[in-house]
Amino acid sequence: MSHLRPALVLLLLFTALTGIVYPLALTGVAAAIFPQQAGGSLIVQDGKIVGSRLIGQNFASDVYFHPRPSATTAPDPNDAGKTVDAPYNAANSAGSNLGPTSKTLVERVKAAAEAKTAEGWTSPLPADALTTSASGLDPDISPAYALAQIPRVAEARGLDAAKLRALVTAQTKRRWLGLIGEPRVNVLALNIALDAFHARQ
C-alpha cells in the first residue's frame, strides 16, 4: 500500500508532463519554425487547398498521370457494416494485406496487367503500377511508371510526348548525394506541373 501514493502522484505528474506539456509545447515550437510541415504540407492554389504534398490522390482521368493502385476503403453509405473501395481515402489509411500466395492478389494483378498490355505497354511492366502500397496513400511512383504513362497523357491532351518526357525528368527526384532514398516522382506535383505546362502552351 505504501506504493500507492508514489504510483498515483507520479502517474498524474507524468501525464501532465509527457501527455500535455510535451505535445503542446512541441506543437507551438513546430508551428513557429516549421509552419508548412506542421500543418500537413498543404498545397494551396488560388486560395483553395488542393491536397498535401505528402499524400497521394486518386487520379483516374486520362489527362493526368495516375498513382499506384490503393487499397483504402470507406464505410458503405448504404450499409454501415460494410465497406466500399475508396482509393486514396486519407482519413482511413490501409494496405491490402494480401499475402504472396493469395489468389485474390494474383487475380487482381493479372487483370490489371492484361489491361496495361492492351493499352500498349510492353513487358517488363513497372511493378508499382500494379501493386498497392502499404498506406494506400503513396504519393510517389517510380520513374518507369511515369514514363510508361506518357503516350496516354500526350494523346488525351494533344501535347508532344518528348516535351512530356522532359517534364517527367524534371519532376523526378534522384537519390540525395547519389546515395540516400529512391528515385521517384511525386504524382500530385507532376500533375500540377503538367497543368501549368499545358496552360502555357
Partner 1 sequence: MTLNGWLQIGLVLGLVLVAVRPLGLYMAAVFEGRRTPASLALGPVERGFYRLAGVAPDKEQGWLAYTLAMLTFSALGFVSLYAILRLQAYLPLNPQGFDGVAPDLAFNTAISFLTNTNWQAYGGETTMSAFSQMAGLAVHNFLSAATGIALALAVTRAFARGGATTIGNFWVDLTRATLYVLLPLSIVVALGFVAAGAPQTLAGSVDATTLEGAKQTLALGPVASQEAIKQLGTNGGGFFNVNAAHPFENPNAFANILQIWSMLTVSAALLIMFGEMVGSERQGWALFGAVGALLLCGVALVYASETAGDPLLTALGLDPAQGNLEGKEIRFGQALTALYVAVTTGLSCGAVNAMHDSLTPLGGLVPLFLIQLGEVLPGGVGSGLYGLLAFAVLSVFIAGLMVGRTPEFLGKKIEAREIKLAMLAVLILPLAILGFTSVAAVLPAGLASLANSGPHGLSEMLYAYTSAAGNNGSAFAGLSANTPWWNTTTAIAMVLGRFGYAVPVMAMAGSLAAKKKGAPSAGTFPTDGLLFVGLLIGIILIVGGLQFFPALALGPIVEHVLMLAGKTF
Q: What residues numbered 60-79 form the site for partner 1, per CB under 8 A?
A: 60-61, 64, 68
- Determine if the peptide bond prior to 6 is cis (ω within 30°): no
Q: Which amino acid is at 130?
A: L
Region of 77-85, 150-158, 159-167, 191-199 interacting with partner 1 (CB under 8 A): 191-199
118 near partner 1, judged by CB under 8 A:
no
Q: Which one, of 109, 108, 172, 170, lies nearest residue 145 by Cα? A: 172
Contact 112, 106 (CB under 8 A): no
Q: Which of residues 27-46 bind partner 1 (CB under 8 A)?
A: 27, 29-31, 33-34, 37-42
Q: Which is nearer to partner 1, 171 or 191 (CB)?
A: 191
Interface residue with partner 1, options 66, 70, 130, 167 (CB under 8 A): 130
99 near partner 1, judged by CB under 8 A:
yes
Question: What 3-state DSSP class applies to 115?
Answer: helix
In the stretch 138-177, what mask flags binding to partner 1 with x, by CB under 8 A?
xxxxx-x------------------------------xx-
Q: Which one, of 150, 169, 171, 170, lies nearest residue 161 by Cα? A: 150
Interface residue with partner 1, options 180, 199, 200, 201 (CB under 8 A): 180
Buried b (16+ CB within 10 A) or exposed e, 49-79: eebbebbbbebeeebbbbbbbbbbbeeeeee
Q: Which is nearer to partner 1, 165 or 173 (CB)?
A: 173
Contact 144, 126 (CB under 8 A): yes
Q: Which is nearer to partner 1, 82 or 162 (CB)?
A: 82
113 near partner 1, judged by CB under 8 A:
yes
10 near partner 1, judged by CB under 8 A:
yes
